[in-house]
Amino acid sequence: MQAVQSMLMKVIRPITFFILHISAFIFFSSAAADSKPNILFIAIDDLNDWIGCLDGHPQVKTPHMDSLAERGVLFTEAHCPAPVCGPSRAAIMSGMRAWNTGVYSNNANYPKRLPGVESMPQYLKRHGYATIGAGKLFHGDHSFPKGSFDRYAPMSGHPWPKEAILSSQQKPVYEWTYNGKVITFPRNGMPADRIWKDTHTFDWGPMDLPDHEFRDAKDLAWAIKEIERGLQEPYFLGFGFHLPHQPLHAPKRFHDMYPLDEVELPPHIEGDLDDLSRSGRDYALIPTTSGEHRSVVKYGQWENAVSSYLATVTFVDEMLGKLLHSLESSGQADNTWILLWSDHGWHLGEKEHWGKATGWYRATRVPLIIVPPENGAPEGFQPGSVCDQPVNLIDLYPTLIGIGSLPKNDQLDGQSLVPLVANPNADWSDHTVTTFGRGNHAITGKRWRYIQYFDGRAELYDRDRDPNEWRNLIDDPEHADIVAAMKKKMPEEALCKQFIRYGDFKAVIPSDGSPMLLFNHALENNLEERFDEAKDYPEVVAHIQDWLTRHNPTQKNVVIPD
């Protein structure tokens, strides 16, 4: 009997030790997971600096964004990695610059363009976070790598039918009936300027519809239900508002807040483009992402557009308040970091431009607010702080790694903003970079802004004396030293050997010896460089190649005479 008991003890002891060891591992692993804070990651599409706390527009009403800034750190010199949705979001979600990924345009489907690059939510999920998403986070609501999210809101759409915003169906208007009311499109009565595409979204005006019919409201309802049912901690909840992306439609009560006879237009002057190069004027006047300024003026729609933009911003702000209230009611706010950002800015007639895709301040500056939880704020943090360091949304991915105390990710080009949350005056870079196409970059410092185009033409602005960027100082000899210093901050763009202008064409010579890329800036919206057109213009390619062979230029930016 004793022999049997002895044998049993030999078996039981290691099993008991193993069970205790596993139990301890599970306990401490759970404790480690619980120590990680939650993250509420809020994206807003096409929102420029027209929010109250940034003083972007004197009439805008954004009480919830302003309140959020009072609770955290407001970054007053935050800029986007790219002033277009696709490349900006690809950079944010990959943590990598366009000149390292090759994603420069809205041809930016993440799984197709960056199949081997671990995205932000994938990284967080791999390190213990539950990942939940809704709305527009990547470019294309559901265009994210497989396995990025544990749950994602179903695709939502506009309340009106797709045909309503097709030029081919607007003859001259499309009529849609909702609850017995006839609603016509386009709401602003303007025909499309981007005649090469059927979708006509350069439109604005009130929609006499209930809030819940709008797609952002549908996504919000889904996200609030997720919060109310209790989210597994630690979690990353990403929520992306589609507004104020065009078309600029909100429930009528928001438009009523901004009467057309009282709305203030953005600052502007006659002849604003006179001191720009050919490239600068192209990026101002070609309706790459929206429409033409002359059309807005011709149809008397400037005030209506500004009113509608402000209305959609305030609509977003009200929905933001509901999202934040649901977090507060969940009991998890004390362990949740909140980050609010916009993917890029938006012009409303400044520089005679509408939309985005430029290097000017209106397109590159974005809201960025970071609020740490009361129970997990970094030492030194003061609510209501303002940071005027030049930061970039490329820093968001490493910031989340810093928030979660996660292992370093060597693929990232940015740096964590957590030190600036603790101390807004901490050591930081003296500039940041925004890229708007191959060879096009805007360098933003605390005072000076330098914009250089692919053909080497450039602009210099003194933001202290000229906040609206009305006076281009590039040819002023008194600022030659500033220009030289700013040029040195231009990214190398190792993927590209040369950038060439030949008439309306832009050619890019890849460094790896692959064929020339060609874009016709005079046709459609190829200023945005979505698709290589070299096969469509073999004679242009041949002429450029012949000229390069005969002249053998060594500089990176080349202009071939017409």
Q: How many CB atoms lie within 10 A of CB 134?
A: 27
Q: What's the confidence (pLDDT) of residue 8?
A: 39
36-427 folds as Alkaline Phosphatase, subunit A (3.40.720)
Q: List beta partners, residue 67.
A: none
User: What pLDDT is stored for residue 332 in this prediction?
Assistant: 95
Among left, alpha and beta (phi > 0; psi -120 to 50; other), residue 384 is: left
Decide if 213 contacts 251 (C-beta within 8 A): no
Residues 396/91, Cβ–Cβ less than 8 Å? no
**Cβ neighbour number for residue 382 with a 10 Å cutoff:** 13
One-letter amino acid at 78 equals A
Which pLDDT score, from 0 to 100, does residue 523 have?
80
Catalytic (active-site) positions: 85, 139
> What is the structure's pLDDT at 526?
82
Give me the pLDDT at residue 148, please: 96
How high is the mean pLDDT in each 10-residue block of the chain (562 residues)? 43 41 36 73 98 98 98 98 98 98 96 96 98 96 93 95 96 95 96 93 96 98 97 97 98 98 97 97 95 98 98 98 98 97 98 98 98 95 98 98 97 98 98 98 98 98 98 98 98 97 97 97 83 96 98 97 92
Burial state string for 453-489 with b = 16 or more CB within 10 A and e = fewer than 16: bbbbbbbbbbbeeeebbeebbbeeeebeebbebbeeb
Please give the pLDDT value at position 234. Answer: 97
Angle at 316 between CA 310 and CA 320, to 5 degrees: 140
- What is the model's pTM? 0.93
d(C-alpha 251, C-alpha 211), whole Å = 6
Burial of 154 per CB tally in 10 Å (0-12, 13-18, 19+): exposed
404 dihedral zone (left: phi>0; alpha: psi -120 to 50; beta): alpha
Could you tell me the two tokens for 350? 């400044």
| Res 25: pLDDT | 35
Maximum Cα–Cα distance across the chain: 105
Q: Give the separation between CA 108 and CA 102, rounded to whole angstroms.
A: 10
Q: For the chain, which residues make up each domain, given as ranges? A: 36-427, 435-487, 496-560
